Structure formats: C-alpha cells, structure tokens
C-alpha cells in the first residue's frame, strides 16, 4: 500500500497551495497596491482550468453512459440525484435560518446607507434580473452545439453529452469508433489538466494577495461575527448532516475529506469550486463510483446542489434584516426559504455568483432595503471560500451516496491508495 506522504512535503501540491495562500495574505496585507496588481494571476489560472472543464465533462459523460448502455439506470440515477439535491439543499437552508436566528449577528449593527450604496445595489439587482427561473431553464439549451463549450455552462454541456450518448447507443457497433476516440480525447484532456494544475500555487497566491490587498482586514469589524457564524454553520452542516448521511451509507466523512484535501486547498486559494472539479471527478472514480454516475451527478450538482450557497443565502438575508431593523416573522422567513430554493438553482461555484443570487432573492423581499447589499460586498470574497468549499464537499458526498444507492460500493477507505498527483499519473479516469 503506497504511503500517503511518499514524496517530500514541499512537492505535494496542496502543501504548495497552502503556502502560497499564506504568502498571498502576507503580501496583500503589507503591500495592498502590489496585492491588487496580482489579480491577473488568480484570474488567469481559473480561466486555464475552466477552458478544460467542458470537454472533460463531455467526454466523461458520453463515454460513461454509452458504454453502460442501460438507459433505465441513467434515468434512475438522475431522479435519485434530483431528490437528494432537493432534500439536502433544503436542510442547508433550514440550518442557516436556525443559526442566524439563534446568534443574531446583525443585531448590533446600526446600518445607515452611504451615498454609493444605492448605486451598488442597483448594479447587482440589474444582474440578478437575468437569473429568473424561465431564463435559467431556457439557458440550459445552447444556441449551437459548440456554443455550450464556449459559454462553459455545465448544464448545457451535460445536455449535449446525454443526447450524444443516446445517439451513440442507438448506433450500436457503428458508434464504437467514436467512443474509442472520445476515450483517447479524455486521456489527453486529463493529461493537459495535470500540466495546468502544477501552476495552482501561483494562481492561489495571486487570488489571495488581491483579496487581502483590495479589501483588507479592516472591512471585517462588525461583520466578523457573521463570517464566523457562517463558517461554523457550514462546518455543522458538513460534519453533522453530510457526515451522518455518509455514515449511514457505510462511509467515513474524515476519509473522504482526506482524499480530496488537495481539491479543498485549491478551492481555498482560488475561491472557485470549479478549479477542483476535474480532480474531484477523478478521485471519486478511484473510490469506486462509476464514470456515468460521476458524470451525471457532479455537473448537475453544480447547479442544483450548492449547499454552501444555500446556507449563505438564508443567513445573509436574515442578517440584513437584523442590521436594518427590519422585523421578519417566522412565516416570512419560511417564505424566504422557499424563495431561496428557487433562486439558488443555477448559481455556479464561480466567485461572485453567490452575491448575484443573493440580490435576486432580496428583490422579492421588499421590506429589506436593497441598499443594504453594500454592507456585505466587502466581505463577500472572504465568504466565497466557505461557499465554494462547502459546495465542493457537498457535491462529492452526493456522488458517493448515489453511487452507494446504485450498488457500486464506493469506499472512502481507499483514501491512502490515491496518490497526490493522481491526475498526472493516469491519463484519464
């Protein structure tokens, strides 16, 4: 059995990322202008990863479904995934609602709108108008076949992949050459991802230096309580809800977290859960999940199972109500919960999407001033890490659970058999 630390610690990717994050914080705090100028490093790395996500998902899903050939199983996995997402996402919303009411982090804040707050709120409100339910459903259909790859919309890619897989299944023997070609393409894309991931520490350094340099620690102040409450709530959800669900399925949450430690630190440095998506998909297959299950659940989960975003939505809205002295009864809060169940769908793991989703939800709560959004703008980047990490862990756990329900017998105990450079050692899943 390979040892978990078989190579020098300084060559382990997640250690490099963690060190880069620490150096980024140091640089941003001491030289804010320099830190702000390093933003392109973080943005560039995220763009490098995003350009590979769509083809990796397409090849993985098409090959997984077409080789499986069981269309009934595909439908069964999809239905189980949607049911699981709705139940667990609702639990996340409820936990956030209960904690924010118990701790009341906004109670001691006497908010008074500043001059630029109305303009800031209007900006995000206009962006939120494009996130209606109808627009979201129509946006699942790409304008062209290759348009889905250009836009990077995971649900569009998933739709194309499922349709392509069905078409190849109907071709039977004639479709096999295409499948073999897709498998070779998948290996090539995973090898390319292995090259890109090596510069993750540089991206994490730039992203963290910009965050601290642009916003600083002074912005925290009275909002520190909300940040601590949010991170504690996310931890309660992960170790309480997800831990219990995995335990009931005979798996260990701790082993699972150890297996994806590299991806967690990558998200911590970049504030984007999408940067860790290819590595997460690979490791879930190493744990025993089938390629088809991983390919269906993960992309769908990135739009329908954003547990961290759900926790943030309910906590942020009630926090703003407390900070603006806006009374919210339990019936109103339950209404906000159901509203957030709709608006949270389609919010991706990319930095900033959670804030736009918050604006979309707040628009339907006229009693809370929209100007109060500006109160959270300064700390949103710091909250984004917590949202993205929780989303990542939640989607991986969902895949393990649904794989277990499908009788694939995934094992989190395989954690020590997963090398830290698993993507680079093997061309594809």
pLDDT digits (tens, 9 = 90+) for 264-322: 988 887 777 777 888 888 899 889 888 888 888 888 887 778 888 889 888 988 888 88
Output the pLDDT for position 29. 83
Q: Which residues are CB-contacts of 139 (< 8 A; sequence separation ≥ 6)?
A: 153, 155, 156, 346
Q: Which residues are CB-contacts of 170 (< 8 A; sequence separation ≥ 6)?
A: none
Output the pLDDT for position 422. 47
Q: How many whole angstroms separate alpha carbon 223 and alpha carbon 244?
A: 31
**How is domain 9-425 classified at the CATH fold level?**
1.10.3860
Q: Judge contact between 373 and 362, C-beta under 8 A.
A: yes
Radius of gyration of the chain (CA): 21
Low-confidence stretches of the chain (pLDDT < 70) are 1-7, 9-10, 68-71, 108-137, 152, 215-222, 342-356, 364, 378, 413-429
Output the pLDDT for position 230. 93
Q: How many whole angstroms separate alpha carbon 92 and alpha carbon 234?
A: 9
Output the pLDDT for position 429. 38
Output the pLDDT for position 5. 45
Output the pLDDT for position 13. 75
Angle at 353 between CA 340 and CA 285, to 5 degrees: 90
Q: How many whole angstroms separate alpha carbon 427 and alpha carbon 13?
A: 18
Q: Which of 141, 194, 182 is nearest to 58 (CA)?
A: 182
Q: Judge contact between 132 and 347, C-beta under 8 A.
A: no
DSSP letter assigned to residue 324? T
Q: How many whole angstroms separate alpha carbon 52 and alpha carbon 319?
A: 38
What does the domain layout of the chain look like in residue ranges?
A: 9-425
Q: How many whole angstroms separate alpha carbon 12 and alpha carbon 8?
A: 7
Q: Which of 274, 265, 271 is nearest to 395 (CA)?
A: 274
The two three-digit tokens of residue 244, written as one number: 């219990």
78: exposed, middle or buried (C-beta count within 10 Å: 0-12, 13-18, 19+)?
Answer: middle
Output the pLDDT for position 275. 77
Q: How many whole angstroms separate alpha carbon 141 and alpha carbon 145?
A: 9
Q: How many whole angstroms separate alpha carbon 395 and alpha carbon 283?
A: 13
Please tell me the pTM assigned to this model. 0.76
Output the pLDDT for position 4. 46
């Amino acid at each position: 059995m390979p040892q978990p630390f078989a190579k020098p610690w300084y060559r382990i990717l997640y250690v490099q990322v963690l060190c880069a994050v620490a150096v980024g914080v140091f640089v941003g705090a001491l030289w804010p202008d320099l830190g702000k100028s390093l933003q392109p490093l973080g943005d560039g790395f995220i763009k490098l990863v995003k350009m590979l996500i769509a083809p990796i998902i397409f090849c993985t899903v098409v090959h997984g479904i077409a080789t499986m050939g069981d269309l009934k199983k595909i439908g069964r996995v999809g239905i189980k995934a949607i049911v699981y997402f709705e139940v667990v996402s609702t639990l996340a919303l409820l936990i956030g609602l209960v904690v924010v009411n118990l701790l009341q982090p906004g109670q001691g804040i006497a908010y008074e709108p500043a001059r630029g707050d109305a303009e800031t709120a209007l900006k995000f409100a206009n962006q939120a108008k494009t996130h209606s339910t109808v627009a979201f459903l129509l946006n699942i259909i790409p304008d062209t076949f290759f348009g889905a790859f250009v836009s990077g919309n995971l649900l569009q890619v998933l739709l194309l992949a499922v349709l392509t897989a069905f078409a190849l299944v109907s071709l039977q023997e004639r479709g096999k050459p295409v499948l073999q070609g897709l498998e070779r393409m998948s290996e090539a894309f995973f090898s390319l991802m292995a090259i890109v991931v090596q510069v993750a520490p540089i991206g994490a350094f730039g992203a963290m230096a910009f965050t601290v340099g642009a916003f600083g620690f002074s912005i925290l102040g009275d909002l520190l309580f909300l940040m601590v409450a949010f991170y504690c709530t996310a931890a309660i959800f992960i170790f309480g809800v997800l831990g219990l669900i995995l335990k009931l399925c005979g798996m260990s949450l701790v082993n699972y977290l150890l297996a994806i430690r590299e991806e967690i630190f990558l998200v911590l440095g970049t504030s984007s859960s999408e940067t860790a998506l290819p590595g997460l998909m690979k490791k879930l297959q190493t744990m025993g999940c089938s390629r088809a299950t991983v390919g269906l659940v993960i992309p769908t989960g990135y739009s329908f199972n954003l547990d961290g975003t759900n926790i943030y939505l309910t906590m942020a809205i009630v926090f703003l109500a407390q900070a603006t002295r806006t009374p919210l009864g339990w019936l109103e809060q339950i209404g906000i919960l159901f509203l957030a169940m709709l608006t949270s769908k389609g919010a991706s793991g990319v930095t900033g999407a959670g804030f736009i989703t918050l604006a979309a939800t707040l628009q339907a709560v006229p009693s809370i001033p929209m100007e109060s959004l500006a109160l959270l703008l300064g700390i949103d980047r710091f909250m984004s890490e917590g949202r993205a990490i929780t989303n990542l862990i939640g989607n991986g756990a969902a895949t393990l659970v649904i794989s277990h329900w499908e009788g694939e017998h995934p094992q989190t105990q395989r954690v020590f058999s997963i090398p830290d450079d698993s993507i680079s050692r093997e061309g594809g899943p």
